[in-house]
Structure 1
Amino acid sequence: MAYFNNPMNLYKPTEKNIWTGRKADQNLYVYQKVEQIDLELQNIPVYGDKTFVILGYECDEGVKRNKGRTGTKEGPQATRRQLAKLPHHLNESTAIYDGGNVVCVGDDMEKAQSVLAEKAAQILHYKGLPLLLGGGHDIAYGHYNGIKKFVGNDQKIGIVNLDAHFDLRSNENANNSGTPFYQIATDNNTQNLDFHYLCLGIRNDANDSILFERARKWNVKYIEAELFHKQNTSYVINKINEFCKEVDFVYLTIDLDGFSSAFAPGVSAASPMGFSVDIAMVALDTLIATNKLISADVAELNPTYDRDDQTAKLAASLLHFIIHKVALL
């Protein structure tokens, strides 16, 4: 399978000065652990027990089409800067690579999604766990197709989405950041494949009645925001475990606008009515413990509207948590 294909300069390595942090003689911080690679020129080394590969998606065309606040294309770099500063607690047999960025050129989001799918499949082919950084939530369509390209149609891929929105809007007018799971569902239906989708944190004030009806029609599992909280931990854990039993692999996608704006002001669609960090961490811990996580992304960081890098720090800490939990499996 060919992976080295860069039409219209849709891929670029990350700038080297992104990965900096506190000075330390020993290997104590994430920036000292990360090795930058060019996915167009080199294969990912098969390294030790666990390999994580970071890949950015510099695109806010989907947000623009969805009438959201643009600026999410700057999200990947903002997340990297905050992740770089964090200490790591990983052994030498765990590797973290920065695989660069897929870039949306002009308004051709669909081409960027296609290249993203190729790069995600490439990472999986070399036994890496992709950690993708958005960008709008349209990242999910390209990301899912990359996983699907790698595992094939015989394996069941479950999508777990931490989000206030179903993102099941019809794409009859245009693909956008609100349509990725509609696109996945319709693609799967065309190919006679099941659609396995669990949403955590769904808000009534963020989804119209058509979206709820569509979710019921397609047997989407979801936990509404009023039930997605720490006092309801047992229920949340059970719902996640029940869902994961039905699938072979789990693709985790985290839309930062699902969090309350108290935690995540720097997103495309901020709201004070979102969920809190504590229940999100319970969900991540439960999901990772199933040992079915194949790939993950964090979407909708918009540095233009962030306060003191609060949302970028949240994104970085979520990735830090995922890396360390998976490394311990």
Structure 2
Amino acid sequence: MKNYQKPNPDLWTGRSSEKQLYMHEKIRCITLEESTLLTINGKSFAFLGYECDEGVKRNQGRVGAVEGPNAIRKMLSSLSNHFSEEVSILDVGNITCKDHYLEETQYETTDSIALLLKHKMFPMVLGGGHDLGYAHYNGIKKQFPNKTIGIINLDAHFDLRETIDRGTSGTPFYQIAKAHDSFQYLCLGIQKESNHRELFNRADQLQVKYLYNTEFTIQNKEKVAQTVSEFIATVDLVYLTMDIDGFSSAYAPGVSAPSPLGFSIDIAMQTIQLICESKKMISADIVELNPKYDLDNCTARLAARIAYNIMIWLSVE
């Protein structure tokens, strides 16, 4: 793969304990190759970076998400390691975007995710723009062609814009709907201000299920849990995608499209835990982190904590 970049061990640094007390001591950097993946046994999580914000640029957003994957890695590095020895946590490197050729990057990302799933690894994909969603879904579908895949998106935006000439960070779920017979999509945190009338009409035509940001709150946790549980019950597998710009900019200022009225950490984490406990979640990604606009790495730290907790919750037997 010409866009593949091997993992950089220098990103994983911190205090040294010689007892694997910290994540940087737990992480193993391996290449994304069949022969290497065959050597990994037991429960394993694989960090794959999607080093691309060409889709954000095409969508007229502010660029910088290309730096997101490595920023999240750095914030994960110093966290405490509470995983058992039987759990493997791997860094398999990045898929980059050369010469603005987004589509080629998406193809390689699709193949990489399918390869990880083939070897029974949980892909934790770090973006990058939300155009990752199209590639990520296709990777799951490639490995599980006969399964019904439900998409749960924590986001302020539907990302259902029509593709005119080419895909962008605003089109991934429209592309999925057009490319596949089955389209099961639940979006949590939708904001009226961030989606025009035609996008709502398109969501209704595609039978998208969603909760507004005013509904996706801790005070409304029973309805949120019911909505999520009912959706999960209708599908075989769940693909969780989290646009970090769905959070309030009080928590996540370093994003492609900041939102002062986004959702809060408490309801997001409670919902993510519920999805993990369903035992149907097969893969996840975190997108739209833009370190260029971050403050004291707080957005990168939030993304790292989300990834960390997903692995914790999925490690529970």
TM bin, normalised by shorter chain, reads over 0.9
In the TM superposition, what is the alpha-carbon distance from 1:43 to its structure 2 partner? 2.9
CA distance in 2, matches of 1:294, 1:205: 32
Q: Amino acid of the residue matched to residue 175 of structure 1?
A: G
Q: Which of the residues 164, 176, 186 maps onto 1:172?
A: 164
CA distance in 1, matches of 2:252, 2:38: 35
Residue equivalent to 1:18: 11
Q: Which of the residues 225, 233, 241 maps onto 2:221?
A: 233
Structure 1 gap segments, 5+ residues each? 1-5
CA distance in 2, matches of 1:290, 1:260: 26
> 1:250·1:295 contact (CA, 8 Å) conserved in 2?
yes
Q: Amino acid of the residue matched to residue 76 of structure 1?
A: P
Q: Deviations over 1:217-254 (max 9, x none)?
A: 11101011000000011110110000000000000000
CA distance in 1, matches of 2:14, 2:199: 44
> 1:33·1:96 contact (CA, 8 Å) conserved in 2?
yes
> 2:8·2:29 contact (CA, 8 Å) conserved in 1?
no
In the TM superposition, what is the alpha-carbon distance from 1:21 to its structure 2 partner? 1.4
Range moving further from structure 2, 199-208 or 12-21? 12-21
CA distance in 2, matches of 1:28, 1:180: 39
In the TM superposition, what is the alpha-carbon distance from 1:195 to its structure 2 partner? 0.4
Q: Which of the residues 111, 116, 135 maps onto 2:109?
A: 116
Matching of residue 130 in structure 1 with residue 123 in structure 2? yes
Name the SS of the counterpart of 1:17 in structure 2.
helix
Residue equivalent to 1:182: 174
Matching of residue 101 in structure 1 with residue 89 in structure 2? no
Q: Amino acid of the residue matched to residue 100 of structure 2?
A: D
Name the SS of the counterpart of 2:245 in structure 1.
helix
In the TM superposition, what is the alpha-carbon distance from 1:173 to its structure 2 partner? 3.5
CA distance in 1, matches of 2:295, 2:144: 40
Name the SS of the counterpart of 2:37 in structure 1.
coil
In the TM superposition, what is the alpha-carbon distance from 1:48 to its structure 2 partner? 4.7
Matching of residue 156 in structure 1 with residue 110 in structure 2? no
Residue equivalent to 1:292: 280
Q: Amino acid of the residue matched to residue 313 of structure 1?
A: R
Matching of residue 273 in structure 1 with residue 266 in structure 2? no
Residue equivalent to 1:3: none
Range moving further from structure 2, 279-288 or 32-41? 32-41
Matching of residue 28 in structure 1 with residue 21 in structure 2? yes
Percent identity of the aligned residues? 47
Matching of residue 282 in structure 1 with residue 270 in structure 2? yes
TM-score in terms of structure 1 length? 0.95
In the TM superposition, what is the alpha-carbon distance from 1:26 to its structure 2 partner? 1.1
Aligned length: 317
Name the SS of the counterpart of 1:147 in structure 2.
helix
In the TM superposition, what is the alpha-carbon distance from 1:25 to its structure 2 partner? 2.5
> 1:185·1:195 contact (CA, 8 Å) conserved in 2?
yes
After superposition, where does 1:175-324 map in structure 2 within 5 Å? Answer: 175-188=167-180, 193-324=181-312
CA distance in 2, matches of 1:164, 1:254: 10
Q: Which of the residues 133, 136, 140 maps onto 2:133?
A: 140
In the TM superposition, what is the alpha-carbon distance from 1:207 to its structure 2 partner? 0.3
CA distance in 2, matches of 1:28, 1:258: 32
> 1:155·1:248 contact (CA, 8 Å) conserved in 2?
yes
Structure 2 gap segments, 5+ residues each? none
Name the SS of the counterpart of 1:301 in structure 2.
coil
CA distance in 1, matches of 2:41, 2:139: 24
In the TM superposition, what is the alpha-carbon distance from 1:47 to its structure 2 partner? 4.2
CA distance in 1, matches of 2:83, 2:226: 30
> 1:46·1:127 contact (CA, 8 Å) conserved in 2?
no
In the TM superposition, what is the alpha-carbon distance from 1:46 to its structure 2 partner? 5.8
> 2:12·2:24 contact (CA, 8 Å) conserved in 1?
yes
Could you list the structure 1 runs, at least 4 aligned residues long, displaced by more than 2 angstroms after superposition. 40-43, 45-49
In the TM superposition, what is the alpha-carbon distance from 1:40 to its structure 2 partner? 3.7
CA distance in 2, matches of 1:155, 1:41: 24
In the TM superposition, what is the alpha-carbon distance from 1:14 to its structure 2 partner? 1.8
Q: Deviations over 1:186-237 (max 9, x none)?
A: 001xxxx220000000000010000100011111010110000000111101
Name the SS of the counterpart of 2:16 in structure 1.
coil
Name the SS of the counterpart of 2:134 in structure 1.
helix
CA distance in 2, matches of 1:77, 1:142: 20
Name the SS of the counterpart of 1:43 in structure 2.
helix
Q: Amino acid of the residue matched to residue 63 of structure 2?
A: T
Q: Amino acid of the residue matched to residue 5 of structure 2?
A: K
In the TM superposition, what is the alpha-carbon distance from 1:41 to its structure 2 partner? 6.8
> 2:151·2:184 contact (CA, 8 Å) conserved in 1?
yes
